[in-house]
Each structure stands twice: as structure tokens, then as C-alpha cells.
Amino acid sequence: MEEVVKGKVYVLGDNIDTDQIIPAQYLVYNPAVAEERKLFGRYALSGVPVAKAGLPGGGVSFIDQVDESRVQSEFTVIVAGKNLGCGSSREHAPLALQEAGVGAVIAESYARIFYRNSVNGGYLIPFESTERLIEQFSTGDEVEVRCSENCLINLSSDKRYGLKSLGEAASIIEAGGLFEYAKRCGML
């Protein structure tokens, strides 16, 4: 787990489901094949209507779909509202965000399965915010997530926000996922 995740933020609203994070038509790729795995990143968040994405800035695509060689986004942090990752139990959703270059996600709340898939796969650092943040950020703001301090800093406005502790999930993320954690602890 990175100590600091720094870069541009992408703002999402409430109830972004796994079908919006990685639409079903892109589940044909095999995550075990490196060339196919990166295509999950190319299509991450392609199911989110652009007008809805990037609250309050709106109108910004997560990945430029015109350039077909592009597989990563310019955004490394996502700030979302309530119930991120609801819908199906698609484990490909946090994988797609990781492959797109996202290192941390901050949401007001998560669907339990999305949160567990993020942690168990070691894909993302899923922080919960201590307050509603989507109105405090605009897509493209420069931010810094300081993991050990449980804080998010909007470098564009120089404001600091508290995040809930990752608790025991931090050890699993740090290890690179549940299986790596179990190996380190002698469980496997």
C-alpha cells in the first residue's frame, strides 16, 4: 500500500453501481492475461453518464475513449458519494479501477461486496469519508491522500479532510490482498 496517493481527483455521485464501473460487455477479457487485463482499465467507469460524472464540474470523461491506445486515466483518486459499488458482486469493478491507474477511492459509504473485493484483491485503498465530500471537490482538482494520517488534502483549495481508519483492512491491503496476507501470517 502506498503511503501517499497523489494526483487528480475524479468525482462521482451516489449509487454508482458495478455495471457503471465496468459494463458487462467488457467482462469478456481474462484478468489472468496481461494484455487483456489492462483492457479492464480502458473501460473503467465507461458506464457512468458523463453528465453525471465529475460532480460538480460535470462533463469530463474518466478515460478518453477516442484514443484507442489509452488504457489508463489521468485520475488517480476517486471521491464518491453514498453506496459506491452497489449492484452485482462483480469482482472486476475494483480491478478495473486499479488497471485504470486509480490508487485510492474515498466514498461516503460502500456496498459491502465492493469494499471487500477492493481489500481482498489488494486492488484499491477504499477509505470512507467522515463527511459528504462530493460538493467539496471538482473533477481535476489536485489531491493527496495520506494513508497513515487518514486524511485527504485538496491541494487546489488547500483544505484538509479526515478519513475513517482502514482498521484491520490496512494489513490486508498492505500485503497485496487476502491470499498474500494469509501467506505472510502462516495461514497458507
In the prediction, which pLDDT does 178 show? 94
Question: What's the pLDDT at 97?
Answer: 96
Burial of 28 (0-12, 13-18, 19+ CB in 10 A): exposed
pLDDT classification of 55: cutoffs 50, 70, 90 = low
Residue 54, pLDDT > 80, answer no
pLDDT band at 58 (very low <50, low <70, confident <90, very high): low
- What are the boundaries of each domain within the chain? 4-184
Helical residues (DSSP H) of the chain, grouped into ranges: 18-21, 34-42, 92-99, 112-120, 169-175, 178-184
- What average pLDDT does the segment 85-114 reach? 94
Q: Cα-flanking dihedrals φ and ψ of residue 98, to 5°?
A: -65, -45
pLDDT for the residue 88: 81
Phi and psi at 77, nearest 5°, equal -135, 140
Q: What is the mean pLDDT of residues 38-52?
A: 84
Q: What is the pTM of this model?
A: 0.91
Rounded distance, CA 14 to CA 134, Å?
9
Return mean pLDDT, the chain. 90
Q: Which CATH class for the 4-184 domain?
A: alpha beta
**With bands split at pLDDT 50, 70 and 90, how would you rate the model's confidence at 76?**
very high
Q: What are the backbone angles phi and psi of residue 114, rounded to the nearest 5°?
A: -65, -45
Of 12, 37, 1, the C-alpha closest to 123 is 1
- Return the pLDDT at 52: 56
